[in-house]
Every structure is written in structure tokens, then in C-alpha cells.
Amino acid sequence: MKMKDKIAVVTGAASGMGKAIAILYAEEGAKVVVSDVNLDGAHVTVKEIKANGGTAIAIKTNVAVEEDIQNLIDTTVSTFGTVDILVNNAGIMDNFEPAGDIKDDNWERIFAINTTSVMRATRKVMPIFLEKGNGVIVNIASAGGLFGARAGAAYTASKHAVVGFTKNTAYMYAEKGIRCNAIAPGGVETNIASSMTNINGFGASRQQLGMAINPRMGKPEEIAKVALFLASDDSSFVNGQVVSADAGWSAY
């Protein structure tokens, strides 16, 4: 087992990539904290993990709320004694709005969930990691964090910020036994599209041009395997990197 007795926190783990990551980590021996604003869904993930002989707990977390981040990590420590791995997976899409159509409240909501939560969760676990002299952070960025036409302007900017934050964190703490990497998934079959409520026709028409060269959609389990690599000792020499997992979409 690649993660035997490690304590892993996975945000947005009630469904999609987060759920797949939580389940795979548990299969590899980790004790997993399943975090999501959808507590019922989080409990379903925990139930699946336990049915396979794993260990997990569910914690309701709105990652846009500082107090929820504090509670997530504090409860993890009080339950399992520490945190070894943090996966910042929770995120939402925008509605493909170009710059001229962005509303402030939508911009702020997207950044709160996609970007600020990553900073706050990282900030919260850092004293734990520094005291131990080791720790791993895996951030779920996006192809939208590397290129300009995978989503609207707000999502694109939020994920570019995650990429920059990942690299800075990795470099700052590289000599402290702490690693921080990111995954940039392409199109993956999840329910994230449900976070879009009023799609911008112009923005969507521009974004859709690139979908014609997308080789295929990915499965959450395929992203989970990359997350396992980055969280395990198999990637001990990998730090500050963004791993694209997109079936070659970005190779065009």
C-alpha cells in the first residue's frame, strides 16, 4: 500500500474527482477525511470506503467559509492526530462569461471557492507540516489554469492563480520536507457543470471551438491515479509541478 496509515483530507469529495481520490487513497491505506458542502454525499463516499474495509469520516465544509476550513483541519487532528496529505479539490465553474459580462458577486464567489479556499487550507495545515518536517499538498487546478479558452474569464483567472500559488508554496517550503503539486485535468466526466446556472452564449461559443480537438473526456478515476502518484513517495522528487491529464488535448 502506497499510503498506509497516512491521514488525508480531500475537499469536494462527495462526488466526481474528489470522491474517486478519497476512495483510491483509502484503498491504498490512508485514513481519509471526506470533506464537502454536501454532507449526505460525503456520507455516501464514507460508506463506500468503509464497505471496502477502509477508514473515513465525513465533515461538512463550505470551503468559502474560513470557519469551516478551521473546523475541517481541527476535527481531523482531534480525530486522527495529524494531517499528512491535503487535497484541495473543491471547485465550481463559471458560466463562460467573458470579461465584459462578469458580475462582481460571481467573480468573488468563484475565487472564494476555487482559490481563496486553497490558500486558507494550505495556511491551516502548514504549521502541522512544519512541525513534522513533512507533508504533501495536491491542488486540483485545471487546463483552464494553463490556457485561456477552457472556460470563462473568472474560472480561468481563478485556476491560473491556483497554479501560481502551487509553485510558490512548493518553492518556499522545499527545504522543509513539504511538497506541493497540482493536477490540470482536461474535460472530465463529473457533475461540475451543475454549478453553471446561466450560461453565457457568446462565451460558450468561443470556448466550444477548442472542444473539437479534445480527444476524449476523462474519468474521475483517471485523475485519482495521478493524485495518488503525487501524494505518495513515488513522486518524492516532484515538487512545484502542474501535471496535465487531458488525453493530449493540450498537445495540439
Cβ contact 68:61 at 8 Å = yes
Q: What is the pTM of this model?
A: 0.96
Of the candidates 72, 83, 7, 70, which has an alpha carbon nearest to the alpha carbon of residue 42? 72
Report the candidate in 137, 66, 106 with the shortest Cα–Cα distance to residue 203. Answer: 106
Residue found by looking up cell 495536491 in the block: 138
Instruction: Give the pLDDT score at 192.
Output: 72
pLDDT of residue 7: 98
Residue with cell 517550503: 173
Q: What would the DSSP string read from start to end of 48-111?
A: HHHHTT-EEEEEE--TTSHHHHHHHHHHHHHHHS---EEEE----------GGG--HHHHHHHH
Count of other CB atoms within 10 angstroms of residue 38:
16
Name 135's Cβ contacts closer than 8 Å, sequence gap at least 6. Answer: 83, 84, 85, 86, 125, 126, 128, 129, 177, 178, 179
Delineate the domains of the chain, giving CATH numbers in brackets: 7-251 (3.40.50.720)
Grid coordinates belonging to 40:
449526505
Partners of 182 in the β-ladder: 139, 242
Q: What pLDDT tens digit does each residue of the chain (252 aa) get?
A: 999 999 999 999 999 999 999 999 999 999 999 999 999 999 999 999 999 999 999 999 999 999 999 999 999 999 999 999 999 999 999 999 999 999 999 999 999 999 999 999 999 999 999 999 999 999 999 999 999 999 999 999 999 999 999 999 999 999 999 999 999 999 999 877 766 778 999 888 898 888 889 999 999 999 999 999 999 999 999 999 999 999 999 998
Cell of 244: 496535465
Q: How many residues does the chain have?
A: 252
- Position 208 scores a pLDDT of 85
Give strand pairing partners of 73. none
Cell numbers standing for residue 18: 474528489
**Residues annotated as part of the active site:** 155
Distance (Å, rounded) from C-alpha 224 to C-alpha 130? 26
User: Please, which residues have CB within 8 angstroms of residue 180's CB and are 6 or more apart in sequence?
Assistant: 122, 136, 137, 138, 139, 166, 169, 170, 173, 239, 240
